[in-house]
Structure 1
Amino acid sequence: MEIRFLNENDDPIAVSNIYEQSWKYAYKGIIPQDFLDSIPPGRWVRHLGKEDMRHLVMLEDGRMIGTASVCKSRWEHYSDYGEIVSIYFLPDYIGKGYGRQLFRRCVDELQNLGYRRILLWVLEENARARAFYEKNGFHCANEYLEDTIGGKQVREVLYTAFPD
């Protein structure tokens, strides 16, 4: 197992595919199915080009199985926080301990950048992810964002941590 930064030799479509498959698996029953079914290949390629973010990939036996993105908080009110923007896995690798390793690397990267406080946003209805974040030292900050995904109103919940 290897975790490293995304580089110019990596196939952005392969990374985007991790997002696409993970969304279809993790958000089933949360986001409208017709929206999930209509996610086009390569939808997240543009996200990978954002230079203000650091993109990580996790590989097992040379195959990309997970990806994550971190950056300085995108929220003015939390300008001294680092942010875990995303963490996604191919469905066959969810719930098998890989997430903890990639998540820990995200926290380490943000700490290496000098952040002592970290935040992330998670869909309120995503009980599995919320339990994962809580198990890994993050706490619900009782702050919410309203959004619309696939025509459905959703709420995102802010989670924060102050790792050692």
Structure 2
Amino acid sequence: MRTRPAEPRDATILAQIHVNAWREGYKGIMPADYLAALSIQEREAQWRSALSENGLGSYQLAEFRNEVTGFCIYGPPRDETLSTRNCGELLALNISPDHWGKGFGTLLVQHVIEHATSSGWDTLYLWVLKKNTRARSLYEKLGFEFDGTEKTEQLAPGFELSEVRYCLPVGG
């Protein structure tokens, strides 16, 4: 089990993991028709572009026996209320559903925590869907705490998602 930076050649597998993790992980949280409409081909094009241009931040993936099992994205804060603080954001964490519960999420989050510490950040934060109890449980196990901040985003006309913010002091 190891991590490595994602590369443009990983776009296809990352798109597959991304779509499959959303379809399985957000079942019952997001509308079924929205999840069914997710396109691996569209996601692959987005991944190719992001990995070629170094889009949102740093892209790290987990591997086991040369098989990519998941990924995370992390970088500077997008949250305007935190943009003046010395912190970073875990923007995404997705693990292939057939590898859930095997430690790959923990491995990737620990990589981000190590990066945050070595970068001198004081805090690492993330947004997670309020109803995503599986992810919230993982983050809580790793020491993240809900800081009381919530927001709602419109996913599709007539459908809103509630997110909660979790923070982890990492030193600095």
Give the length in aligned residue pairs: 163
Alignment partner of 1:103: what SS? Answer: helix
User: 1:90 — aligned with what?
Assistant: 96
Deviation at 1:117?
0.6
Return the offset for 1:124: 0.4
Specify the code of the residue in structure 2 equivalent to 1:131: S
SS in 2 for 1:31: coil
Please identify which structure carries the higher helix content.
2
SS at 2:38 equivalent = coil
Shift of 1:47: 4.5
| CA distance in structure 2 between the partners assigned to 1:51 and 1:3 by the alignment | 19
Match of 1:16 in 2: 15
Contact preservation (8 Å) 1:145, 1:156 = yes
Give 1:133's aligned amino acid. Answer: Y
On the 8 A contact 2:145/2:167 being kept in 1, the answer is: yes
Flag structure 2 segments of 5+ consecutive residues without an equivalent.
none
Say whether residues 1:59 and 2:58 are aligned partners: no
Tell whether the 8 Å contact from 1:72 to 1:83 is kept in structure 2 after alignment.
yes
Distance in 2 between residues matched to 1:67 and 1:106, nearest whole Å? 11
- Residue aligning to 1:108: 114
Q: State, as a whole percentage, how many aligned pairs show the same letter.
A: 27
Q: Residues 150 and 91 of structure 1: is their aligned pair in 2 closer, same or farther, counting only changes over 3 Å?
A: farther
CA contact (8 A) 2:50 2:56 kept: no
RMSD: 1.6
- What is the aligned partner in structure 2 of residue 37 from structure 1? 36
Q: Residue 162 of structure 1 corresponds to which residue in structure 2?
A: 169
Match for 2:146 among 117, 130, 140? Answer: 140
